A and B are shown apart, each in its own frame.
Chain A
Amino acid sequence: MITILVDGIAYGMLLFVLAAGLAVTLGLMNFVNLAHGAFAMAGGYVTVVLVNRVGIPFFAGLPIAFLVSAAIGFVFERTLYVHVYSKNPLDQVLFTIGLVFMSVAAVDYVMGSSQVFVQIPNYLKGQFDVFGISIGRYRLLIIVLCGLLTVALQFILAKTRFGSRLRAAVDDSRVARGLGINVNWIFALTFAFGSGLAGLGGALGAEILGLDPTFPLKFMIYFLIVVTVGGTSSITGPFLASLLLGICDVAGKYYVPSLGAFVIYTIMIVVLIWRPQGLFSRVGSR
């Protein structure tokens, strides 16, 4: 029972790190970025190459995955995304889904189509036994890391100068510009940060979710569910939504395996009927 709960929390945390960047771009910048998973995949493959082939320790690979994905995100934002911000959502969707397919084909060509795994250090394998409850070590690591990240994210957005500038830039970019805030720069940094988070999520998740070139397509739905259920006006919304979905998904599959796969969708439908603006959104905030 507790094991299932821990698994669920770990899974939810992972979903959150993967989807947090999307919540930021979609919610704060109003940009539909379906290619978000591609950045996660980039982070995953960077870790695989560094850890398995170059031999860099796993924990050094994680920040590099973050930085590389963030750098890719930054370059793409400056060169490609910047042109579609003002376009209508359909154009944005078409543009980003195109990017997804290009990334899938590119990774398939370079890395091959079969599933790859990160070699994690031995002390992360296996389980702890705490009072008869078994907890996977790697899953515990995910919970701790992602928990810290969430606190940091919330702090940056709510308490720092950068956070308030970002919120200002989103609420009314014209006025923000008038006040001397460099809106383009802030958007670029935010986008890069979101991509970096996705990359980190991809690197962490490769062990549990598996990594292959179709990763961005396979998990796109999960990201979107997290963001729709959680609402996009804050970080806590998607966070709680990820936890809820993670726990329900794992518990559903454990207790009613025959229906398990549908639990996550059922929750989404119920939530969207009950609160179309998302579970944790402030009503009419936008």
Chain B
Amino acid sequence: MMSKYVTGAVAALALGALATGGAYAQGTVKIGLIVSMTGQQASTGKQIKAAVDLYMKQHGDTVAGKKIEVILRDSGSVPDHTKRLAQELIVNDHVNIIAGFEITPAALVAAPLATKAKVVELVMAAGTSIITEKSPYIVRTSFTVPQSAVIIADWAAQNKIKKVVTIVSDYAPGYDAEKSFTERFKSHGGQILQAIRVPLANPDFAPFLQRAADAKPDAIYIFVPSGQGGTFMKQFTERGLDKAGIKLIGTGDVTDDDLLPGMGDAAIGTVTAHMYSADHQSAANKAYVAAFEKANHFRPNFMSVGGYDGMHLIYAALKKTKGKADAESLIAAMKGMKWESPRGPIEIDPQTRDIIQNIYIRKVEKKDGQLYNVEFETFKAVKDPVKAAKK
């Protein structure tokens, strides 16, 4: 069924290309931006959209003699819509690049389309490790969940945390987060007392937290999709787990900058590993945060830098190819690209097309009356550990 659609799409694309007689040559590079502006992941979509707009405002809409045109489509947080929209963008609008993809399933459904239609798929948000392996035209500017999960495991082991209960959401990135953390933590001699998986649509964490607390761990390792962190955090303190001396560690999704101000003091002291904090101390980031907050009324989060760097990657690649926008040239140009992002130095891995970046250990603290993830340790140039282990 799926391959039938794809063939159809490709056939139609070929016809379309004939009919329009090489629209590419006319000097426009089209980017189909598919993100969720409504539905569950809407906050991610809005962050990415805001970052893309900001980048274009700062750098203009012409690069290497080509005009950049971004076509925004709302997936409504439904992967099926993403697929349909990607198809329409490729066939009707002749986009050169499809970008966005806030959740893993959305990135995965678009992969066969990218392969067959020879279009670059730029993943700006989704974090499951396998995504970049699904098509030779996929490049990622966000992060992989294991990058953070492995680093926090290292940090925990170095900081006298011996017994951990893991709590992850019951879906693919959750398993990634659980597996990477567990393997690394055990290799350091750590002990996993319990591995709890909570349903994705879970309104009340109380029973899971109680179970975790009864196991008396040194720390609870948490992975929930960005958006659920607040509820979790509230219930963690409500249960008095912080007072019982149980530390809360996790990947940075749980203390998402977008939600952190609303979490209240409950979040203070949470230690997470992640690639971006709005509090990152660098000139590039200060300028980025100031410009972002001026243009929008919210703080940029880690999803926004995925969008911002994604746009940078497109611009830089087009400069390198001197405006050639076919997938082969673009991908070749993108491989090995290095630059200074608001999150710090980053690079596109020439082998895997995935991102190599610093992972920071941060602790939630109050600064000028606002909660921030304050970075205090840096693990330099971390590659996706899952793909690194396969070699």
Contact = CB atoms under 8 A, between A and B. Distances in A.
A127 B239 contact: yes
A110 to B, nearest CB: 13
A254 B211 contact: yes
B208 A253 contact: yes
B39 interface: yes
Interface residues of B, number: 36
A40 B203 CA distance: 15
A134 B240 CA distance: 9
B264 A209 contact: no
B207 A251 contact: yes
A7 B207 contact: yes
Contacts of B170: 261
Contact of B203 (A126, A136, A138, A219): A219
A214 B40 contact: yes
A113 B46 contact: yes
B231 interface: yes
B239 A253 contact: no
Given A115-B259, A208-B235, A209-B231, A257 B43 contact: no
B202 interface: yes
Interface in B297-320: 298
B207 to A, nearest CB: 4
A114 B208 contact: no
A114 B239 contact: no
B210 A4 contact: yes
A117 B230 contact: yes
B238 interface: yes
A218 B200 CA distance: 11
B201 interface: yes
B8 interface: no
Contacts of B373: none
Nearest to B266: A125
B78 interface: no
B81 interface: no
A114 B197 contact: no
A117 B240 contact: no
The size bracket of the interface on A is 35 or more
A108 B42 contact: yes
B357 interface: no
A260 B203 contact: no
Nearest to A246: B204
B237 interface: yes
Which secondary structure dominates where chain A touches chain B?
helix
A11 B204 contact: yes
Given A208-B204, A210-B231, A138 B38 contact: no
A37 B199 CA distance: 21
Interface in A258-273: 258, 260-261
Given A208-B235, A261-B202, A114 B207 contact: no
Interface in B191-250: 196-199, 201-204, 206-208, 210-211, 227-228, 230-231, 234-235, 237-240
Contacts of A209: 203-204, 231
Interface in A57-107: 105
B259 A114 contact: yes
Given A3-B210, A105-B38, A114 B43 contact: yes
A257 B196 contact: yes
A234 interface: no
A26 interface: no
B17 interface: no
A126 B259 CA distance: 22
Contacts of B6: none
Contacts of B206: 7, 11, 208, 250
Interface string A186-221: 000000000000000000000111101010001100
A153 interface: no
B354 interface: no
A176 interface: no
Given A127-B238, A209-B231, A250 B264 contact: no
B273 to A, nearest CB: 22
Interface string A160-199: 0000000000000000000000000000000000000000
A1 B87 CA distance: 53
B204 A114 contact: no
Contacts of A210: 203, 228, 230-231
Interface in A216-238: 218-219, 222
A125 B230 contact: no
A119 interface: yes
Contacts of A257: 196-198, 207-208, 211
A116 interface: yes
A252 B41 CA distance: 29
Nearest to A129: B240
B262 interface: yes
A214 to B, nearest CB: 6
Given A117-B230, A210-B231, A212-B227, A260 B199 contact: yes
Most B CB contacts (10 A, CB to CB) among A115, A116, A136, A258 go to A115
Most A CB contacts (10 A, CB to CB) among B207, B211, B237, B238 go to B207
Contacts of B42: 108, 113
A115 B232 CA distance: 12
A276 to B, nearest CB: 27
Contacts of A218: 201, 203
Interface in B254-269: 258-259, 262-264
A136 B38 contact: no
A251 B207 CA distance: 7
A108 B38 contact: yes
Interface in A114-134: 114-117, 119, 125-127, 134
Q: Which 8 A/B pairs are nearest by Cβ-Cβ distance?
A: A113-B42, A253-B207, A261-B199, A254-B207, A210-B231, A114-B43, A250-B207, A209-B203
19 contacts: A7-B206, A7-B210, A108-B38, A108-B42, A112-B298, A114-B43, A114-B262, A125-B237, A126-B237, A208-B206, A208-B231, A209-B204, A210-B231, A214-B40, A250-B204, A254-B207, A260-B207, A261-B199, A261-B202
Given A112-B298, A113-B38, A250-B204, 7 more contacts: A4-B207, A7-B207, A114-B227, A126-B238, A138-B238, A210-B203, A210-B228
